[in-house]
């Protein structure tokens, strides 16, 4: 007597064509069988071999993956890209599949993409440095190419968790490279996943790609309130103390520059107007106070310390002139 699976195969094959729908039902029926016996496996493998040309290509892949025991990759809806990228950028599967983390979470993993969201990526980098477990705790890997990211939403009465599930497809333009945020190591996915989930949560890349507040991003990751200080109103020593205290307490810190119309001349400083930087540290050497900063581009810096990876030191006095504001997270 033929097994229910054999009958199902025969029915599906009657028209010499195996659609994605038929194969999905077949896989579901095979999963419903309590035991994936060698006989059942052989029967499905035989179907794959003898009727290879009857399958829709994606259906064949799905069945082969099931027979091989490899997890099936799920494809979820992706956030809309920037309006100006609407005709040039499309979502494509990661190939080869990367790892969520390579050498753990580091502030220097984060590289901004071709989108005006320095506030967002500088905050990712700041949280990665201050509190890497806040990032690891936020991302759940389902093992099928999808990830659920838990953010915190500032709601009346406190922060409440919000979950967003995305797949690992990349927004690509002309080649395999991701158009938006990525990790410095091409095999590391956490930066892209985090930004993609943030975009999905906020309604697409257009919603997150035209500036914003780093403090909001820190709050979304830590669930603790952030505060903002203007360098125009606060004395230099007070700015320095609040930064060094925050960093010692493992709190994320970022700093924003003035706008292009502010009258501040950035020529020759290596610093850019309308930009946000991660503040990595504060130090005092021979009576001079310095801040250590990082450009989220992962390059392009103030001064010449011999290595252009975006990380540089700046005198506090220069910082007070070139930067307009400081965000400190919880």
Q: Is 110 helix (H, G, I), strand (E, B) or coil?
A: strand
Q: How far is the CB of 209 from Ca ion (least distance, A)?
A: 19
Residue placing its CB nearer to Ca ion in the complex, 90 or 229: 90
> Smallest Cα–Cα separation from 186: which of 111, 105, 136?
111
Residue placing its CB nearer to Ca ion in the complex, 154 or 308: 308
Q: How far is the CB of 275 from Ca ion (least distance, A)?
A: 16
Q: How far is the CB of 278 from Ca ion (least distance, A)?
A: 13
∠ CA 288-289-294 to the nearest 5 degrees? 130
Residue placing its CB nearer to Ca ion in the complex, 43 or 109: 109
Q: How far apart are CA 202 and CA 90, in angstroms?
A: 19
> Smallest Cα–Cα separation from 194: which of 124, 127, 251?
124
DSSP state of 210: B
Q: How far is the CB of 166 from Ca ion (least distance, A)?
A: 8
Q: Which two tokens stand for residue 52?
A: 């290879």
Residue placing its CB nearer to Ca ion in the complex, 257 or 295: 295
Q: How far is the CB of 186 from Ca ion (least distance, A)?
A: 12
Q: How far is the CB of 259 from Ca ion (least distance, A)?
A: 25
Residue placing its CB nearer to Ca ion in the complex, 64 or 106: 106
Q: Which two tokens stand for residue 75?
A: 């494809």
Residue placing its CB nearer to Ca ion in the complex, 212 or 298: 298
Long-range interactions of 268-276: CB distance < 8 A, separation 24+: 269/302, 269/318, 269/322, 270/300, 270/301, 270/302, 270/303, 270/312, 271/302, 271/322, 272/300, 274/211, 275/118, 276/118, 276/119, 276/122, 276/123, 276/214
Residue placing its CB nearer to Ca ion in the complex, 146 or 234: 146
113: Cα separation from own chain's centroid: 11
Residue number of the CB atom closest to Ca ion: 169
Q: Which two tokens stand for residue 104?
A: 């753990």
Q: How far is the CB of 181 from Ca ion (least distance, A)?
A: 14
Q: How far is the CB of 169 from Ca ion (least distance, A)?
A: 4
Residue 180 and residue 113 in contact, taking contact as beta carbons nearer than 8 Å: yes
Residue placing its CB nearer to Ca ion in the complex, 9 or 118: 118
Long-range interactions of 4-9: CB distance < 8 A, separation 24+: 4/29, 4/33, 5/29, 5/30, 5/33, 5/40, 5/43, 5/44, 6/43, 9/43, 9/47
List of residues contacting Ca ion (CB under 5 A):
75, 78, 102-103, 106, 109, 167, 169, 305, 307, 311-312
Count of beta carbons in the 10 Å neighbourhood of residue 71: 12
R_g of the chain, CA atoms, integer Å: 25
């Amino acid at each position: 007597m033929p097994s229910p699976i054999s009958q199902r195969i025969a029915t599906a094959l009657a028209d010499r064509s195996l659609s994605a729908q038929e194969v999905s039902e077949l896989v579901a029926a095979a999963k419903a069988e309590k035991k994936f016996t060698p006989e059942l496996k052989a029967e499905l493998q035989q179907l794959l071999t003898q009727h290879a040309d009857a399958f829709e290509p994606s259906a064949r892949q799905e069945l082969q993956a099931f027979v091989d025991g490899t997890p099936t990759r799920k494809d979820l809806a992706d956030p809309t890209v920037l309006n100006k990228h609407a005709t040039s950028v499309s979502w494509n599967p990661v190939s080869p599949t990367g790892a969520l983390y390579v050498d753990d979470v580091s502030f220097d993993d984060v590289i901004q993409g071709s989108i005006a969201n320095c506030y967002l990526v500088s905050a990712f980098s700041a949280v990665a440095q201050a509190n890497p477990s806040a990032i690891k705790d936020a991302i759940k890997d389902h093992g099928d190419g999808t990830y659920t990211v838990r953010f915190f939403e500032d709601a009346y009465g406190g922060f409440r968790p919000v979950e967003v599930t995305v797949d690992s497809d990349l927004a690509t333009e002309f080649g395999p490279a991701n158009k938006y945020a990525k990790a410095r190591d091409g095999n590391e996915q956490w930066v892209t996943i985090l930004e993609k989930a943030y975009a999905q949560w906020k309604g697409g890349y257009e919603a997150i790609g035209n500036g914003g507040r780093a403090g909001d991003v820190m709050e979304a990751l830590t669930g603790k309130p952030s505060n903002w200080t203007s360098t125009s109103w606060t004395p230099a020593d007070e700015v320095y103390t609040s930064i060094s205290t925050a960093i010692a307490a493992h709190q994320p810190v970022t700093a924003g520059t003035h706008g292009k119309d502010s009258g501040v001349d950035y020529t020759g400083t290596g610093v850019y107007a309308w930009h946000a930087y991660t503040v990595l540290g504060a130090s005092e050497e021979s009576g001079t106070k310095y801040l250590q900063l990082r450009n989220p581009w992962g390059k392009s810096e103030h001064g010449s310390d011999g290595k252009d990876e975006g990380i540089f030191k700046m005198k506090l006095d220069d910082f007070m002139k070139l930067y307009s504001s400081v965000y400190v997270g919880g």
